[in-house]
């Protein structure tokens, strides 16, 4: 195993707060992710926990091509600062088969270290299953956090196989960390008792994405000007990969209908993908000129684009959660999402913080867009309510849930 603990300066900062820690926690996850790193940093600051994160590989750090965006992606915010971590394997040249077996040392590591608990992200990967084996062998309580839900229809044989496998897996899981309501329903469906469920809300870095008090009056006009957007008409925002599963063309069609009804608005796409050319062809054929395809934008650039928005739309065929909804709501945008977006079951209260519509129902999407775009007062009120709602979905709240789970299920050293 490659020992890539944090640099000495970071280890001192982390270890210095761990002297009185009551629990040693291992965290096992696939690779550094821009949404997880701030959570691990927040967890490292908690006085009751001494955490070590084990990564299966280092994708996301080396500019590997993202299969959805179709371009090389290296996140521009620090992913390895402020917490203790190790890699089980490194380098994109490692074959997937070799990488699978390279994760085997997690079994020995959990046996040797005898942590008080291990937090495993997901259950459907070789790394997760190896971590389960290591936890069972060492008698370490398992905390499971996964995005799983019951939104998607599955074939009968898949449902039967999952029930058989998860019965065994969940029977040997001490605590389940719920990211939201759809996720909680999934665990309950497979017989998990309420006493084993702990709320750890799915979230983004609220401090980073929350605009300043002067944003709406002073900064927003400048942001729109810098992007070449018109100052007055409201802006509809989509953020995500331009792929079939996200259904960006549904929004394009709804926008064309809205404009056709005489409602003036601008459409902003943040993201890249194989459907970009289809979108360009669509807007050209409909002679729609007030559209900006901004392409992929890294983390530090996103606030500039979200800051221009007035309404957010995620027309996805399926999304286990959709953290872009959190990001958009922090900028005071009401969200319109499909009934297959997990975040909608927590963050979107119809008529209050946004709207939910059936996947593919472009007519309903058009109606909701028309209502919000033509009513500035209602749009602003719902945007404020959306911002208030999403603020409680924070890393601080997530860490509190993790700590409660460790206190109940973990073993004290």
Identify the H or E element spanning 18: none
The predicted structure's pLDDT at residue 268: 98
In total, how many domains does the chain have? Answer: 2
User: Do 198 and 210 reside in the same domain of the chain?
Assistant: no
The predicted structure's pLDDT at residue 212: 85
- Give exposure, 206-219, as e/b (b: 16+ Cβ within 10 Å): beebbbeeebeeeb
Q: What is the pTM (predicted TM-score) of this model?
A: 0.91
The predicted structure's pLDDT at residue 91: 67
Q: What is the pLDDT of residues 16-68, one digit of tens each?
A: 344 556 899 999 999 999 999 999 999 999 999 999 999 998 877 776 666 66
Is the pLDDT at 304 greater than 90? The verdict is: yes
Please tell me the chain's helix, strand, coil percentages from 3-state DSSP, rounded to the nearest 5.
Answer: 45, 15, 40
Q: How is residue 350 annotated by DSSP?
A: B
User: Do 119 and 160 reside in the same domain of the chain?
Assistant: yes
- DSSP H stretches of helix in 244-361: 248-260, 276-285, 302-306, 323-330
**94-108, 151-165, 260-274 — which one is most confidently predicted on average?**
260-274
What residues contact residue 301 under an 8 Å CB cut-off, 6+ apart?
Answer: none
CATH number at residue 124: 3.40.50.2000
Structural domain boundaries, residue 13: 8-203+394-409
Lowest mean per-residue pLDDT among 38-42, 153-157, 207-211, 396-400: 153-157
User: Do 88 and 132 reside in the same domain of the chain?
Assistant: yes
User: Do 83 and 102 reside in the same domain of the chain?
Assistant: yes
3-state secondary structure 284-305: HHCCCCCEEECECCCHHHHHHH
Residue 224, number of CB atoms within 10 A of its CB: 21
The arithmetic mean of pLDDT across residues 167-178, rounded, is: 94
Q: How confident is the model at residue 185 (pLDDT cuts 50, 70, 90)?
A: very high
Residue 363, number of CB atoms within 10 A of its CB: 11
Whether residue 3 lies inside any domain: the answer is: no
**Is 322 in contact with 338 (CB distance < 8 Å)?**
no
Residue 372, number of CB atoms within 10 A of its CB: 25
Q: What is the pLDDT of residues 90-135, one digit of tens each?
A: 765 444 556 667 889 999 999 999 999 999 999 989 999 999 999 9
User: Do 164 and 247 reside in the same domain of the chain?
Assistant: no
Whether residue 2 lies inside any domain: the answer is: no
User: Do 196 and 224 reside in the same domain of the chain?
Assistant: no
User: Do 178 and 243 reside in the same domain of the chain?
Assistant: no
Q: What is the pLDDT of residues 371-411, one digit of tens each?
A: 999 999 999 999 999 999 999 999 999 999 999 999 999 87
Question: CA dihedral in degrees (349, 355, 357, 360; nearest 10)?
Answer: -140
Is the pLDDT at 13 greater than 50? The verdict is: no
Identify the H or E element spanning 239: strand 235-239
User: Do 361 and 299 reside in the same domain of the chain?
Assistant: yes
User: Do 64 and 211 reside in the same domain of the chain?
Assistant: no
Q: How is residue 217 annotated by DSSP?
A: I
Lowest mean per-residue pLDDT among 56-70, 254-268, 329-343: 56-70
């Amino acid at each position: 195993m490659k020992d890539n603990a944090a640099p000495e300066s970071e280890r001192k900062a982390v270890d210095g707060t761990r002297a009185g820690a009551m629990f040693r926690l291992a965290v096992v996850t696939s690779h550094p992710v821009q949404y997880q790193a701030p959570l691990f940093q927040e967890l490292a600051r908690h006085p009751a926990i001494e955490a070590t994160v084990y990564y299966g590989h280092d994708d996301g750090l080396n500019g590997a091509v993202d299969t959805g965006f179709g371009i090389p992606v290296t996140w521009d915010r620090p992913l390895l600062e402020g917490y203790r971590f190790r890699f089980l394997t490194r380098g994109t040249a490692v074959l997937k088969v070799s990488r699978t077996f390279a994760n085997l040392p997690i079994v020995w590591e959990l046996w040797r270290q005898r942590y008080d608990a291990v937090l495993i992200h997901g259950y459907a990967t070789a790394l997760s299953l190896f971590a389960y084996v290591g936890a069972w062998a060492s008698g370490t309580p398992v905390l499971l956090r996964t995005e799983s839900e019951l939104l998607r229809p599955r074939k009968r044989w898949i449902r039967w196989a999952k029930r058989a496998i998860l019965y065994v897996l969940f029977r040997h899981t001490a605590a389940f960390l719920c990211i939201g309501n759809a996720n909680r329903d999934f665990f309950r469906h497979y017989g998990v008792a309420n006493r084993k469920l702990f709320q750890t809300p799915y979230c983004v870095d609220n401090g980073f994405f929350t605009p300043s008090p002067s944003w709406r009056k002073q900064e927003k006009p400048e942001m729109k000007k810098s992007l070449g957007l018109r100052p007055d008409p409201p802006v509809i925002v989509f953020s995500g990969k331009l792929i079939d599963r996200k259904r960006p063309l549904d929004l394009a069609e709804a926008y064309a209908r809205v404009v056709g009804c005489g409602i003036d608005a601008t459409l902003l796409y943040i993201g890249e993908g194989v459907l970009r050319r289809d979108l360009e062809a669509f807007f050209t054929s409909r002679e729609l000129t007030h559209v900006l395809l901004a392409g992929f934008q890294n983390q530090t650039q996103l606030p500039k684009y979200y800051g221009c928005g007035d309404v957010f739309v995620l027309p996805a065929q399926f999304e286990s959660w959709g953290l872009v909804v959190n990001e958009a709501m922090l900028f005071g945008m009401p969200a319109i999402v499909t009934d297959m977006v997990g975040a909608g079951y927590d963050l979107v209260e119809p008529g209050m913080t946004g709207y939910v519509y059936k996947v593919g129902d472009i007519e309903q999407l058009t109606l909701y867009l028309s209502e919000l775009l033509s009513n500035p007062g209602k749009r602003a009120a719902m945007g404020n309510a959306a911002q208030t709602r999403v603020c409680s979905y924070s890393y601080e709240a997530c860490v509190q849930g993790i700590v409660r789970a460790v206190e109940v299920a973990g073993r004290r050293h």
